[in-house]
Amino acid sequence: MAWTASAIPEEEFHEPWLDLDSKAEKLAEKIRQSKHFIAFTGAGISTSAGIPDFRGPDGNWTLRAQGKTRTGPTTSTLQAIPTLTHMALVELQNRGFLKYLISQNCDGLHRRSGILPENLSELHGNSNREYCKSCGKDYIRDFRAVATYEKSDHDHRTERKCVCGDDLHDTIINFGESLPEIPLDLARHHAKLTDLCLVLGSSLTVTPANEIPESVALRRSRRSKEPCLVICNLQKTPQDDLSQIRVFSKTDDLMARVMEKLEIPVPSFILRRRINIIVETNERGKCQVNVLGVDTDSTPVSLFRSVRLLTHRRLLTKEPFCFTPHGGIETGTKLDFEFEFMGHYCEPKLLLTHEYNEGIGKSLYLLEYDPSTRRWTVTKDGGESQIE
């Protein structure tokens, strides 16, 4: 916890290359043989993206204990590129190796990198997610959806409203607050099923999250060599003696070698967005065109600074993005949209032409943006791709 952080940080250790390579080989073999592999991640996996950790030599809590403020540059969590470790975990998920991921991080990079919501427990929240306590509806934002905490550390209202009319709350877990029940229950469920738990970049000192990997190790008995606990962290942790493989290295260094041993390339980060265009008749009997971002699990996602329907010269800058074309829309009509995104990765505006076909009220467009080329690839669900 923040108030237990020492002004003199724990020493960091680095494995000799040959030792690291040998342990990577053992871990790769464990992954190959595993039937229910889970990962548990902490702030250490995001440091190579420019996001400081907490207990390292330049960690947020370490500096606070020293009475210092950060002076060097850091990267916004909204602009950070997911690290090699993030993308390795995504690929292990996509290939069926990684069954579940439990994270202490609030930076939102796991979900943005491509870890599916149903495969993820964010125990300490997500700075891009808010929810309604009344109806339970979730929202993902391409901006920080965090309360100001001006009145109290426990006042999580974000000053936005749910579609049901009630207040929205951020999902951040502050000190002294209970972990979210459903993500915690899912984490414990998968910890009971796992035969391999890989801890990456966590000091394993924050309770009760640190009890998850500990519970895995305590299931081990003399009769069985399973489950296996593997810990990768530069500093020592309280659970080192419980681990079967202990690696002192940066998580990127370990995962790069593990993926090489598995002969699985680590993919580059691609920003993926999903847009629904819905043509319907509203309660006044008029034709209405709605544009909204959605996640893979249909959670609403705030993606746009503005949306313009070019044929009607309308520019909307606030949600909901709803257009009411005069005279309605005939089948075969082409609707030309211009989307302006938040621009955290320097995304250019996107021009998209949607052809309305009577009887098909909702169309899903899959968008992929490559930050290295700054180009969009757009695919209509079930249709052809085009590059913008």
Q: List helix spans (H) across 165-276.
A: 181-193, 211-218, 251-262
- Main-chain phi, psi angles of 246, to 5 degrees: -120, 120
- Is the Cβ–Cβ distance between 88 and 258 less than 8 Å? yes
Structure-token pair, residue 73: 């540059």
Tokens found for residue 19: 């030792």
Sign of the C-alpha dihedral, residues 46, 47, 51, 55?
A: positive
- Tens of pLDDT, residue by residue over 294-321, are 999 999 999 999 999 998 778 999 999 9
CA geometry: angle at 261 spanning 260 and 266, to 5°?
Answer: 30
Q: How do residues 153-204 score in pLDDT, each as one tens digit? A: 999 999 999 999 999 999 999 988 999 999 999 999 999 999 999 999 999 9
Reported as a pLDDT band with limits 50, 70 and 90, residue 276 is very high
Give the residue range(s) of CATH 2.60.40.1970 domains in the chain.
Answer: 271-387
Contact 21, 249 (CB under 8 A): no
pLDDT band at 70 (very low <50, low <70, confident <90, very high): very low
CATH 3.40.50.1220 fits 2-127+172-262, yes or no: yes
The CATH class of 271-387 is mainly beta
Confidence category of residue 57, pLDDT binned at 50, 70, 90: low
Confirm whether 110 is a catalytic residue.
Answer: no
- What does DSSP assign to residue 82? P
Q: How confident is the model at residue 67 (pLDDT cuts 50, 70, 90)?
A: low
Checking if the pLDDT of 241 tops 80, the result is yes
Averaged pLDDT for residues 326-342: 91
- State yes or no: pLDDT of 364 exceeds 90: yes
What pLDDT does residue 61 have?
Answer: 44
Q: Is 228 labelled as part of a ligand binding site?
A: no
164 known ligand binder: yes
**Burial annotation 323-353 (CB, 10 A radius, 16+ → b, else e):** bebeeebeeeeebebebbbeebbebeebebe
Domain with CATH 3.40.50.1220 in the chain: 2-127+172-262
Q: What is the reported pTM?
A: 0.92
C-alpha distances in angstroms, 50 versus 8, 14, 84? 22, 20, 13
Residue 85 or residue 331, greater confidence: 85
Catalytic residue from among 86, 110, 124, 190: 124
